[in-house]
Amino acid sequence: MKRATFQPMPCPVANALEHIGDGWSLLILRDAFYGLRRFDDFINSLGIASNTLTRRLNDLVANGLLERRPYQDNPPRHEYHLTEAGIDLRQVILTLMAWGSRHSSTGKKVFLADEETGKPVDLALMDANTGKRITRDGHRMHVAIDADPLTLWRVRTGQAYRNNDSLVSPFPN
C-alpha cells in the first residue's frame, strides 16, 4: 500500500514528514545515530523485512538524509551514512527518545549523558538567540500574513480556543 503524500501541504511539519517517511525510517535514522551503517546491521537491530528496509533506505537516500557509500566491490556492498540534513534530525531523535523515556514503560534504559560528568542530560528546547528555554506559555506559533488560507485558519482558530473566544474563524473553502 502506497502511503499518503504530504508534499502539497504548505507546512514545515508536513514537509519534514514527507522527507522522513514513517516509523521504520525514524528507527533507521536512530540506528544511524548509534553508528550502524550496513544493511545487515539494520536488519539485525530492527528485525525488519529486507524488502521493507531496502525501500526505506532508498527513500532516505532519495530524500537526502542518508548517503550510500560502497565498502566492498565483489559482491557490491554499501554503507549508509548520515548527510548534513540527516544529522540535523539529531534533535528530533533525541526529543523523541526523551518523550519515550518519560511517557512509556521502557523508562530510561537509553539516555543522553554529558561526556564530562557522565550524568543524564535534561533535554530542553532553547532559543539560540536568547538562551531562554522554549515554554508553552512563553512562545506561540506565528505565520506570515501571506501564508495559505488553511494555515492561517489553523493558527487563528487555535488562538481563539486558547483565548476562550467564541469567534472562531470559518473554515476556508
Question: Would you kindly state where each structural domain of the chain is located, as residue ranges?
Answer: 12-87, 140-173
173, 157 contact by CB (below 8 A): no
What is the predicted pLDDT for the residue at 9? 77
User: What global pTM score does this model have?
Assistant: 0.83
Write the Ramachandran bin of 67: left for phi over 0, alpha for psi from -120 to 50, otherwise beta.
Answer: beta
Rounded Cα distance, 138 and 73, in Å: 55
At 87, is the secondary structure helix, strand, or coil? helix
At 125, is the secondary structure helix, strand, or coil? coil
- CATH 3.50.50.60 assigned to domain 12-87? The reply is no
**What residue ranges of the chain have pLDDT lower than 50?**
none
What is the predicted pLDDT for the residue at 6? 75
What is the predicted pLDDT for the residue at 2? 59
Rounded Cα distance, 144 and 102, in Å: 34
Question: Percentage of residues in the chain with pLDDT exceeding 90?
Answer: 51
What is the predicted pLDDT for the residue at 117? 96
Rounded Cα distance, 130 and 124, in Å: 14
> Which DSSP letter does residue 74 get?
T
What is the predicted pLDDT for the residue at 11? 81
Question: Percentage of residues in the chain with pLDDT exceeding 70?
Answer: 98
Rounded Cα distance, 3 and 67, in Å: 23
